[in-house]
Structures are given as structure tokens and as C-alpha cells.
Amino acid sequence: MIRPDFITATDKGLFCRAGNFYIDPQQAVHLAVISHAHGDHACPENEQIFATAETAAIMQLRYKKRAGGKFNLFIYGESFEINGVKICFHSAGHILGSAQILMEYEGVKYLYTGDYKLQEDPTCEPITFIEADVLITESTFADPQVKHPDPVEEIKKLNAGPQNILLGTYSLGKAQRLIRMINDHCPQRKVLLHHQILPITKLHEQFGVQLGPYQPYDRKLMKNPDQNYVYMVPPLTFNSYFKAINVSRAFASGWKNLQTNNDLQLFISDHVDWDDIIKMIEQVKPTEIWTVHGNGLHLKNYFINQIPIKALN
């Protein structure tokens, strides 16, 4: 029987009462099961961390001595147990090392997606579809009006015009995906990286991810408008360069508000859109759906009288 309180939202994050552990806690806790290394899912200084090796390495790179106490590392498909709850990581297709967290307790399977995507991305493992009784899904873009365009067609927009491009991006995951996409689909473009993006990019390569050529940012290079450079920078730097001249500005994101006041719209998201969430539900075949990180109202209306849906946040 499904326990309605198996996962509950607390000030510290999602809490599994049966196993006495937290999933992607927002504050340091004793037992933390981490889906992936983005800062809103992986906080520092937890006493014991359960994660993939890639997630642990990124956390250690970012947080240094504050990364946490003991890291317990598991590969996809490898089971382990915490206080009677059986747990197994499965690829989420979101970023390097990202994992769905499958939990089994009293014969019931609860699948927490973390952030996930279904689009092809050679910089991380593709998503694995797992059947479960309860699907705990992110609902960032759970709106029938949100449908992500083809990312390949989006990146090909960078082929237009000779001007250099200032490209805003997130340093972890999105930046590495864009490097590979530019090298695959915009061969005349040359990639320059902000110094904050370089360490995580090199870490991807240490894990065997093939990205193609790139080089550290050189101010002299960007002064030549005819060299087809794409200079990739993190959000704060992008916002501070609002007066940049002789470049086209673009920000790679699924959020419409981040496309305003730019010279080029680049809708590339690492989250599922409406159609992908529906496909995920069809694959998982849950008898209940619990939503996090967004508004599950549209899903509730879509599956009315079919699948019970509740919001955990």
C-alpha cells in the first residue's frame, strides 16, 4: 500500500520518513541522497552523501572542503539500502551524473526523477525509463503551452551572420552541452570559455565526455568581429556585459524571460516540457503522481479521474 507520507516536504528539503534520510536537501543533514550536482539540489556540508561518482566529483570541485563528510558512491543500476529502504540510481539524462532515485519500501516503488530531460545529449547518459507505483516528478514546465523546440535547429541559429556571439549559459551541464552542439552543428564557430566554466568542463573530459575543441577566453580574440567566436559566460557575467559592443547577445534557456532584450533567442532547455512529462508518465505507469519544483495543476486537470496527483511543495 502506498504511504502518503513516504516523502514529505520540510524546511530542510524532501524527507523520507521511513528511511530517515533526505533527498536533495536544502540544508546540511545527516543522510543526504543527491540526484545531481546543481546547487539547488546539492547543498554542502552533509554528513553522509549518497550519489553517483560524477555528482560527488562536481560537488567536491565546487565546494572544496565544505563538500561534505563521507561520500557513498554508486553506479546506475546498483542497489543499496538506507534504514530498510532499498534505493537504486537510474540515469535522468539531465547533466553528467544526474540520477533518478528509485526507492522500494514495503513492496511499493517510489521514483523521484530529480531534474530530467528526454532530448538527446551526448554529454550525459540518456534517461532510463523505470516503472514505479508513485512517480515524483519535477514539474518546472508542466504546462501544455510549453513545448521545447528542436535543440539542433536552435543551435544552428548561431550559423547566421559573421558577428561574434556573447552566449550566456549555466556553467554546469548546459555549457558542456552547448560546446558539443556548437562543434557538431556550427563548425565554423570557435568556442571561447569564461574562466568559471573551464574547471567543470575539464572534469567532464576526465569522465570521458567528448566535447570537441574550445579554448579559454582571450580578450584580444573577441576584438576581431570576423572570427566567428562564441564566448560562453555564466549568467552574472552575461548580465554585466549588457553594454558589450560588436557582439550578438544570446542566452540559452527554456525560460522566455531570459530571451528578452537579446539579439537572438535560443530556446535550449535541460528540463522536460509538457509532451516529455506525458511520455514519462506513459513509460513509468504510476498509480499516483506527486509533483515538485513547479505547478502540478495542469497535470491534475489532464489526468482528472485517471491518476491521483498531489503537490509536495
**What are φ and ψ of residue 7, in 5° steps?**
-125, 125
Q: What average pLDDT does range 267-282 have in this prediction?
A: 97
Choose among 158, 77, 89, 151: nearest CA to 120: 151
When mean pLDDT is compared across 113-127, 199-213, 218-232, the lowest value belongs to 218-232
Residues 107 and 198 in one domain: no
User: 313: which residues sit within 8 A by CB, 6+ positions away?
Assistant: 9, 291, 292, 293
Q: What average pLDDT does range 271-285 have in this prediction?
A: 98
pLDDT for residue 225 is more than 70 = no
Domain of residue 70 covers 7-144+271-311
Predicted TM-score (pTM) of the model is 0.96
Q: What is the CATH number of the domain that holds 49?
A: 3.60.15.10
Give domain status of residue 100, yes or no. yes
Long-range contacts of 13-17 (CB under 8 A, 24+ apart): 14/112, 14/292, 14/312, 16/85, 16/103
pLDDT at 6: 98
Residues 255 and 306 in one domain: no
DSSP state of 191: E
Mean residue pLDDT across the chain: 95
Q: What average pLDDT does range 183-203 have in this prediction?
A: 97
pLDDT for residue 34 is more than 70 = yes
Give domain status of residue 1, yes or no. no
Residues 17 and 85 in one domain: yes
pLDDT at 85: 98
Measured between alpha carbons, how far is 56 from 52 in angstroms, rounded to an integer?
Answer: 6
% of the chain at pLDDT higher than 70? 99
Which tens digit of pLDDT belongs to each residue from 45-67?
999 999 999 999 999 999 999 99
Total domains in the chain come to: 2
Measured between alpha carbons, how far is 35 from 189 in angstroms, rounded to an integer?
Answer: 34
